Structure 1
Amino acid sequence: MLLVHLTLDPPPGGEPLPPDIGCLIRACATREDRLEHVAVHAAAPWPVVGVFLCRADLMSAEAAAERLWWRAVARRPRLAAWRLRRAEVPLLRPELLGPEVLRPDDGHT
């Protein structure tokens, strides 16, 4: 499963992201999207909608997430005022995770 962040630019008036945006995106999903979960982080300056997809590669996950966004815009045209900044899998820098994440205790040490 891959997490794709849909990072959004709010409209000029600062209108908040609709509170049901997660439900709307779930309603727009088809079986082919392989959507598992949606998480919304509506805080400014750039709201993020996290889309969890059962995909094997980054490119297909990012493309599927972007399609979900545009389907949501088609269903609710007011969302067109929001600019999709990017649809991408957030990549982590392993050196920032810490040793307990890089080498979990598996009971064999």
Structure 2
Amino acid sequence: MLLVHLTLDPPAGGESLPHDTGSLIRACATREDGLEHVSVHAAATPWPVVGVFLGRTDLASAEATAERLWRRAVARRPRLAAWRLRRAEVPLLRPELLRPDGGET
């Protein structure tokens, strides 16, 4: 399973991301998409992030699938088009930064 972050630019008016964005994305998924979970972080700074967990092993495929899910959600709810998709990417983490002592795993 891979996590893809959909990073969004909010509209100029400061409108909040709709509360049902996660449900909408889930409703747009097909079995072939392999969607496992959606997590919305509307207050994340500097940009809101939607985490899309997909049953994929290939980075490019997961990122393309997450972007397609976002486009489908926008097609169903056109006012989401005000939220520009900055990027759809798997966040790459350095394991040594995840340990409290900074040591190797």
User: TM-score, normalized by length of structure 2?
Assistant: 0.92
Q: Which runs of 4+ in 1 moved over 6 A?
A: none
Shift of 1:100: 9.0
User: Which residue is 2:33 aligned to?
Assistant: 33
Match of 1:68 in 2: 69
Q: CA deviation at 1:102?
A: 5.1
Count of residue pairs brought into register by the alignment:
103
Q: Name the larger-Rg structure.
A: 1
Q: Is the alpha carbon distance of 1:101 and 1:62 closer, same or farther for their aligned partners in structure 2, counting shifts above 3 Å?
A: farther
Amino acid at match of 1:52: F
Confirm or deny that 1:86 pairs with 2:95.
no
Q: Which runs of 5+ in 2 are unaligned?
A: none
Task: Return the letter of the residue paired with 2:75.
Answer: A
Distance 1:101 1:31 in 2: 40
Distance 2:2 2:81 in 1: 26
Give the unaligned 5+ runs of structure 1. 104-109
For 1:44-71, what per-residue CA distance to the aligned partner results, in whole angstroms no more than 9, with x for missing partners? 4310000000001100000000000000
Matched residues in 1 for 2:22 and 2:104: separation? Answer: 32
Structure 1 residues 14-72: Cα deviation after superposition (integer angstroms, max 9, x where no partner): 10000000000000001110000000000143100000000011000000000000000
CA distance in 1, matches of 2:49, 2:10: 11
Alpha-carbon distance in 1 for matches of 2:103, 2:59: 22
Structure 1 length normalisation: TM-score? 0.89
Query: What letter matches 1:42 in structure 2?
Result: A
Q: Give % identity.
A: 82
